Structure 1
């Protein structure tokens, strides 16, 4: 009798633990996919441009700022990371606009002041990337177009199919596969054993978003991009490890360049290494966008 009661208690404890794990995993999935709205405010007073709205095939109305540039200088689109907004791209926009480039900075779907029901870590955002490129192509006829994609922003560009017609792109700290991105975050928060929970999160992609992990593999798409690429990685990045950035770089076709930022984590690389960042990125765009 005592043994039977102990067995029942043990089974109950295991069931409760499993239920708790499932609840925590579901809450984590909710947090990761929930929209990240943010009040943006007015165009900065030193920006000579205008507010714009773009319709995307993601179903969202995208909001952003467009700054016209000098004829022949080229144009650059700034694509922010997950749970960020165009506000995070203002210093880059200021740099590029002062150099004569036309600049578009915008909020991805479910971010900032753009509409959208859920963050998809690059899937729907890839359609936003295409909408942004089409908009700038229409605003700057004859100009060469470049992109800076930070983390999810770079994934969105890489995932766009077919490969968008741009002349150059900078990929900052972009994950190769969503499985690796999830594993990295689980290790950071739960230690090495945390990766056992990954299936509980990837399974939610289909349940919540109607997509699979196979839809979120920039490493499988970047090889089809014919334009010149500059990959930037933080040497101490734990969200997208240096080895993962090397993996994405290896999958890309030529022409391509790779810059490792020593001491950098998953952070604003422009703010961390302003002078070197500006020299490298401006030099890259000077080479590929100027007429």
Structure 2
């Protein structure tokens, strides 16, 4: 299992998941994505350059554990990085939590939360600065356009009350994803750590999904 944390966090965010996965018999690799924790990098790029860390970690796992099935759990930024990486070969299963569909949606949602309807209008001028501030373009940050090419079974999860990535946006991502795919709506949850929000439900949902693709013979 490769576990990928959210923005401005580090690998310790994923310790709770690592512990329950270990109890269920899975080995877990926790990494600091580029620009986070102890990893090098002077800019947060919302998944674009962080994707290189995902590729490197998957290459490490395949090299160290040849023949083993590999899955990824990514949270928010980590989820986007996993999709934008488009790793080849693809993982055997992927869990994507609270992932934005496009950077335009992500910025507009966050500004609207703070400023009201005017926030959506201000998103454009802010995004124009993205190449200067982060060294990437909006075209680099559209998981919605990449998810169909992921090449792995996917579980999409998000909070029903998430205002950073709305439920309608999560449904958009689900519709765009290729099968096999599953969708999990976490009632009452916002843009929060879904495992910490409801550990029992989370573990049942995720372990059930993983068992289909990591432990089945087909």
Question: With structure 2 as the length reference, what TM-score do the two structures score?
Answer: 0.96
1:154 partnered with 2:79: yes
2:108 aligns to what?
Answer: 183
Change (3 A) 1:157 1:163: farther
In the TM superposition, residue 205 of structure 1 has moved relative to its aligned partner by 1.3
Deviations along 1:49-86, one digit per CA (max 9) or x if unpaired, are: xxxxxxxxxxxxxxxxxxxxxxxxxxx10001101111
Question: What residue number does 1:83 align with?
Answer: 8
Higher relative contact order (CA 8 A, sep 6+): 2
Q: Which moved more, 1:194-203 or 1:225-234?
A: 194-203
1:209 CA drift (Å)? 2.7
CA contact (8 A) 1:130 1:164 kept: no
Q: Deviations over 1:95-117 (max 9, x none)?
A: 11122212100111111111111
Equivalent of residue 126 in structure 2, options 182, 194, 201: 201
Change (3 A) 1:216 1:164: farther
**Matching residue of 1:166:** 91
Distance 1:247 1:164, change over 3 A: farther
Q: Return structure 1 stretches of 4+ with deviation > 3 angstroms.
A: 161-164
Q: Which consecutive residues of structure 1, in runs of 5 or more, have no partner in the other structure?
A: 1-75
How far apart, CA to CA, are the structure 2 residues paired with 1:164 and 1:220?
A: 19
Q: Is 2:26 aligned against 1:135? A: no
2:164 to 235, 239, 254: 239
Number of aligned residue pairs: 216
Helix, strand or coil: the match of 1:123? coil
CA contact (8 A) 1:85 1:107 kept: yes
Gaps of 5+ in 2: none
In 1, Cα distance between equivalents of 2:135 and 2:30:
28
Mark the structure with the bigger radius of gyration. 1
Matched, 1:229 2:161: no
1:215 to 140, 151, 162: 140
Partner of 2:187: 262
* CA distance 1:200–1:163, change in 2 (3 Å): farther
TM-score by length of 1: 0.72
Could you tell me which residue of structure 2 aligns to residue 116 of structure 1? 41
Contact 2:45 2:135 (C-alpha < 8 Å) held by counterparts: no
